[in-house]
Amino acid sequence: MAEAVSKVKELAEKRKVGVRVESGTTKACLKCRWGIEDPTDPSKGQCIGGHRTGMGGIWKRMIHDYYNTTCDHFEEGEVDFRDHV
Amino acid sequence: MAIRHKPIEYKGKSIEFPYENPAEETIEDEYLHESLAKPTTERTKRLKARCRWKHTAAGEFVESSVRAGMERMRYWTEGHKASDGNKEVLRRANCLKTLLDKCTVVLQEDELIIGYHAEDPSMIPLYPELSFLATQDYIQSPKYAPQPVEEAQEINNYWMKHSLLSKCMPYFEPHEMGQMFQVSSMEAPSFATGYNSIVPPYETVAEDGLLKRIELAQANIDKAKAELAAPHWNAPERLPLLEKIDVWNSMIIADKAVISWARRHGRLCKIVAENFETDPKRREELLAMSEINQRIPAEPCQGLWDVMQMKWYVYLLCHALERYASGFAHKEDKLCWPYYKASVIDKTFQPMTHKDAVELFECERLKCSEHGAGKSRAYREIFPGSNDLFILTVGGLNRDGTDGCNDCTDAILEAARNIRTTEPSIMFRWNPKGRLKTKRLVFECVRDGLGFPSIKNDELNSHQMLYYGRFSQNNNGATPEEAHDWANVLCMSAGLVGRRKTQKTRSEGGGSIFPAKIMEITLNDGYDWSYSDTQLGPNTGDPRTFDTFDKLWEAFRTQYQYAMSLVIRAKDVSRYWEGRVLQMPFVSSIDDGCMELGRDANELSEQPNGWHNPITTVVAANSLVAIKKLIYDDKKYTMEQLLDALYANWEGFEEMRRDFVNVPKWGNDDDYADGVIKKFYEDIIAGEMRKITNYSGGPVMPVGQAVGLYMEVGSRTGPTPDGRFGGEACDDGGISPYMGTDKKGPTAVLKSVSKVDSTTQKANLLNQRLSVPIMRSRHGFKIWLAYMNTWHDLNIDHVQFNCVSNAELLAAQREPEKHQDLIIRVSGFSARFVDISKYGQDTIIARNEQDFGAEDFDFLNVNADDLV
């Protein structure tokens, strides 16, 4: 089982496609057009970039620290609701 | 030009399908729904044109002018601070009084029903006492933040230690909160989101008036004080009276404040009439409204205009001012019938025509359309294209078992058909005794593409009210007569209506659990690799080691039971604190049980009504069928291979995916698939849930549905063994086939669904899409009626329909500005199609448009001689 868990965690890491915590970053997910607040706790967030499904849909990833997480795909702005879930 | 349906050969006849209204044959399919709105009067046409819609999608308000108001949070907090040191129930009454005494009252042009719950009709109120997290989300939004934002932040900081959330949090471990908050396997608890629902006892206000309720409370106080002062003091018997006296006093404070608030509206009408209005007809209306608002809700209602204004005030109080609650739960035709009769038929008070009554119901629909709630982001995400879950109920039977449909029912349905708004949705209780004239109007609303009325089985749900009544902790559950008085609490679940025993809080019933995500983590020892990178459930083992299908089945059961127990515990911890810090003096004052017993509405439960909503069940069920067939029965693949394919999101495993897609799916009357899925619904989805006992002492039963969570949860769920890719939407409703996989026609769907014993579930949503050219043909009603009678005979709980062509949906995607009147049924609610995301729109387009063939007609007992 340990091997299996390790594989799954590796996959989870791969799904993050470079998403990383950088304390005090000026390019936080909070400001990114691909970021949206967590449905319950606005100090967390969701990334809607990354994967698009065959139907044009979105495979989200959770951002645990919305103010201090960033990645190389940062783009300032906002996504229109029609391009969202 | 509209396209006619091809002729169908049936029982030796060639059936033609000319349009019922020949003029429609000249309307292009792409624009049909833009031609159907026919507001009854110029007034409602104007009101619709200037309506300030509060639709949301993707967590945002669609209209850019919507902002959060300050008044409610400001005055509520002021009332709380000013009463520091008092009993909490009295503080809550003081909060309401402060708000109602000081808030802006709103009167708009053309309105016949008045009142708004914020200082401006473009604004929405906030509820920091429910959830400081939800309020913080608004405060940090540059678009919606209440102004001045510093004051809003200060208020929110105050509630961090006083709110419901802060009271409930200590009873949960951080990892449990994290699992619930992320809304992937479980919906977040209401103590974190503030989301709620209620069934207000409108009847007491209509029949008694609030002055009478104040008298009752005062008489109870006098009696209790006399008992306290009687000789031979008995502490165990008499000390409980202290709390009751506080509750009755809080009721009096609340009701007096409400009367004064309504009369402020009346005075405003008079001031405008006497000083500003230049149109003599409108001046007369304003003076009439002034008189109504002086009298209502203080005194009993006498006419239809009275009851419509009363309803709106009680709605605002119960759903937006004293506490936020979604829904519009009431049996409108029954509640309004005596007043409709007085005004329209007997003309003894507020005399009017049937057309005037229809106009009033249209006005009410537009009030709902303009209503907005300070909902948390989760609930701005999951009802896309609508503002909130407004659902009213009509039809069914009266208490004495006679047909409950009447001319008032028809006026409500005509208003919905004519004005075409997404809100409020309507649920029709289908009973064989229901009159044909009313069923024809139900059909017209469905055929015109409103997506409502949704239809529920009347007898099944009346029996359910009796079943729940058995568990009443004070032996005062529903009687056989009261069991006929039910309405949908929100989208799908029945609850009593009337003077007492109604549901007052969502911690009794509501909230969701997501089997698709639970399926995903069952395959990963409880770990969520695809969205949150956290341990989302208990360790149930490596599925590669499961040598039988039963072991996988039991692992799923363990994951499901863990989540169920956690979410119901969260609801009951919430209920515990709601009774202590979230008392509702106004709601309590209008409930006969609370009035008699001196107990708060959150705390008193006479009729249990426990439920929770499994959403995305069919993705999990189809996945189990695919695994059983290909891994355990046919042994074509191993679990190792399946997991590798899922981890790759099926990339590089295309042929294998095709095999998993091609395994029989739910909704095709396939005995292999249906056998597994029936057991899944009855043994796990309902079986495990019903092992739980909630606050009210009754079982918790499943209400399978979807709202927009089938999209949101889909976007948080990785690839699944039914062949679905990661992030794709899940199934769109409780027992509905997965979109596009029901390939054997409408009657095969009914046969599959009827295999699940409806009495094991509290409700189960069935979404179907009907052929536009058949429904709009001159045979449409006969075919639909035959379908409905068969549906009823199969003892199915629910059905609802989309009746819109893909041609029109695709045209609306291309040119949204030309399709503002295009409404679709998403799941338990209807939405404006152009106000939802493309992701959501595509899930509607992907649903199979169920055509009818000769085999279907035969199964439905359609008489060929009638189709001429």
- pLDDT tens digits for B302-330? 999 999 999 999 999 999 999 999 999 99
Cβ–Cβ < 8 Å for B585, B253: yes
Amino acid found at B605: S
Task: Reply yes or no on whether the pLDDT at B120 is more than 90.
Answer: yes
Smallest CA–CA distance, residue A46 to chain B, in Å, is: 9
Nearest Cβ partner for B715 among A41, A54, A57 = A57
Cβ–Cβ < 8 Å for B323, B474: no
B620 CB within 8 Å of a chain A CB? no
Residue of chain A with shortest Cα separation from B194: A40
**Which chain B residues are within 8 Å of A62, Cβ to Cβ?**
182, 531-533, 716
**Which chain A residues are within 8 Å of B647, Cβ to Cβ?**
7-8, 11
pLDDT at position A4: 62
Smallest CA–CA distance, residue A29 to chain B, in Å, is: 14
Contact: A60, B378; criterion CB under 8 Å: no
Q: Could you tell me the maximum CA-CA distance found in chain B, to the nearest angstrom?
A: 90
Q: Which helix (H) or strand (E) holds B5?
A: strand B5-10
**Which chain B residues are within 8 Å of A59, Cβ to Cβ?**
530, 715, 718, 725-727
Residue of B839, B842, B843, B845 to mutate, interface with A, max A Cβ within 10 Å: B839
Contact: B376, A56; criterion CB under 8 Å: no
Q: How far is CA B146 from CA A41, B70, B115, B163, B192, in A?
A: 19, 5, 21, 19, 20
Task: Reply yes or no on whether the pLDDT at B3 is more than 70.
Answer: yes
**Which chain A residues are within 8 Å of B726, Cβ to Cβ?**
51, 53, 59
Q: Strand pairing of B13-17 and B5-10?
A: antiparallel
- Average confidence (pLDDT) over B599-617: 98
Q: How far is CA B652 from CA A55, B656, B667, B727, in A?
A: 19, 9, 29, 18
Contact: B839, A55; criterion CB under 8 Å: yes
Contact: A53, B542; criterion CB under 8 Å: no
Cβ–Cβ < 8 Å for B104, B121: no
- Per CB distance under 8 Å, which residues of A are interface residues toward B? 1, 4-5, 7-9, 11-13, 15-16, 36-42, 44, 46, 48, 51-62, 64, 79, 81-85
Task: Reply yes or no on whether the pLDDT at A3 is more than 70.
Answer: no
Contact: A4, B727; criterion CB under 8 Å: no
**Which chain B residues are within 8 Å of A85, Cβ to Cβ?**
58, 381, 711-712, 714-715, 837, 839-840
pLDDT in tens, B196-221: 999 999 999 999 999 999 999 999 99
Domains of chain A from N-terminus onward = 2-78 (4.10.490.20)
Residue of chain B with shortest Cα separation from A78: B60
Residue of A17, A40, A64, A65 to mutate, interface with B, max B Cβ within 10 Å: A40
B158 CB within 8 Å of a chain A CB? no
Smallest CA–CA distance, residue B558 to chain A, in Å, is: 18
Task: Reply yes or no on whether the pLDDT at B121 is more than 90.
Answer: yes
Number of neighbours of residue B76 by Cβ within 10 angstroms:
26
Residue of chain B with shortest Cα separation from A51: B727
pLDDT at position B683: 98
Nearest Cβ partner for A41 among B133, B529, B545 = B133
Nearest Cβ partner for B381 among A15, A39, A59 = A39
B182 CB within 8 Å of a chain A CB? yes
Residue of chain B with shortest Cα separation from A9: B529
pLDDT at position A51: 62
Contact: B377, A15; criterion CB under 8 Å: no
B168 CB within 8 Å of a chain A CB? no
Number of neighbours of residue B23 by Cβ within 10 angstroms:
9
Smallest CA–CA distance, residue A67 to chain B, in Å, is: 12
pLDDT in tens, B842-864: 999 999 998 999 999 999 999 99
Closest among B714, B859, B846 to B783, alpha carbons compared = B859
**Which chain B residues are within 8 Å of A42, Cβ to Cβ?**
133, 136-137, 140, 377
Closest among B519, B485, B515, B522 to B501, alpha carbons compared = B485
Smallest CA–CA distance, residue B370 to chain A, in Å, is: 20
Task: Say how many Å lie between the first and final Cα of chain A, rounded.
Answer: 35
Contact: B725, A53; criterion CB under 8 Å: yes
Scan residues 689-748 of B and list those with Cβ closer than 8 Å to A: 711-712, 714-716, 718, 725-729
Q: Classify residue B407 as exposed, middle or buried by CB count within 10 Å of its CB (0-12, 13-18, 19+).
A: middle
> Please, which pLDDT band fits residue A81 given cuts at 50, 70 and 90?
confident
> Please, which pLDDT band fits residue B449 given cuts at 50, 70 and 90?
very high
Contact: A39, B377; criterion CB under 8 Å: yes
- Average confidence (pLDDT) over B229-248: 98
pLDDT at position A2: 60
Q: How far apart are CA B828 and CA B491, in angstroms?
A: 5
Task: Reply yes or no on whether the pLDDT at A50 is more than 80.
Answer: no
Q: How far is CA B704 from CA B265, B618, B713, in A?
A: 42, 10, 15
Smallest CA–CA distance, residue A81 to chain B, in Å, is: 6
Q: Classify residue B206 as exposed, middle or buried by CB count within 10 Å of its CB (0-12, 13-18, 19+).
A: buried
Q: How far apart are CA B77 and CA B88, in angstroms?
A: 13
Nearest Cβ partner for B716 among A60, A79, A82 = A60
Contacts with B597 (C-beta within 8 Å, 6 or more apart), sequence order: B244, B604
Cβ–Cβ < 8 Å for B666, B673: yes
Contact: B183, A39; criterion CB under 8 Å: yes
**The residue to which tokens 């934002």 are assigned:** B149
pLDDT in tens, A8-22: 767 766 666 678 999
Task: Reply yes or no on whether the pLDDT at A54 is more than 70.
Answer: no
Which residues pair with residue B497 across a beta bridge?
Answer: none
B160 CB within 8 Å of a chain A CB? no
**Which chain A residues are within 8 Å of B532, Cβ to Cβ?**
62, 64
Q: How far is CA B155 from CA A43, B198, B419, in A?
A: 18, 26, 40
**Which chain A residues are within 8 Å of B715, Cβ to Cβ?**
48, 57-60, 85
Give the ipTM.
0.92
- Average confidence (pLDDT) over B290-312: 98
Task: Say how many Å lie between the first and final Cα of chain B, rounded.
Answer: 23
pLDDT at position A10: 75
Residue of chain A with shortest Cα separation from B135: A42
Contact: A85, B712; criterion CB under 8 Å: yes
Scan residues 537-556 of B and list those with Cβ closer than 8 Å to A: 541-542, 544-545
pLDDT in tens, B504-533: 999 999 999 999 999 999 999 999 999 999
Q: How far is CA B128 from CA B67, B72, B132, B140, B587, in A?
A: 16, 10, 5, 14, 20
**What six digits make up the tokens of B490?**
């929100």
Mean confidence (pLDDT) of chain B: 97
Contact: A62, B192; criterion CB under 8 Å: no
Helix (H/G/I), strand (E/B), else coil: B68: strand
Nearest Cβ partner for A84 among B58, B182, B377 = B58
Q: How far apart are CA B545 and CA B551, in angstroms?
A: 9
B272-279, Cβ contacts within 8 angstroms, sequence gap of 24 or more: B272/B107
pLDDT at position B868: 84
Contact: B527, A8; criterion CB under 8 Å: yes
Task: Reply yes or no on whether the pLDDT at B656 is more than 60.
Answer: yes
pLDDT in tens, B383-441: 999 999 999 999 999 999 999 999 999 999 999 999 999 999 999 999 999 999 999 99
Contact: A85, B531; criterion CB under 8 Å: no
The dihedral of CA B287, B291, B296, B300: what is its sign? negative
3-state secondary structure B346-393: CCCCCCCCHHHHHHHHHHHHHHHHHCCCCCCHHHHHCCCCECCCCEEE
Task: Reply yes or no on whether the pLDDT at B624 is more than 70.
Answer: yes
Q: Chain A to chain B, count of Cβ pairs less than 8 Å apart?
A: 143
Residue of A33, A51, A81, A83 to mutate, interface with B, max B Cβ within 10 Å: A81
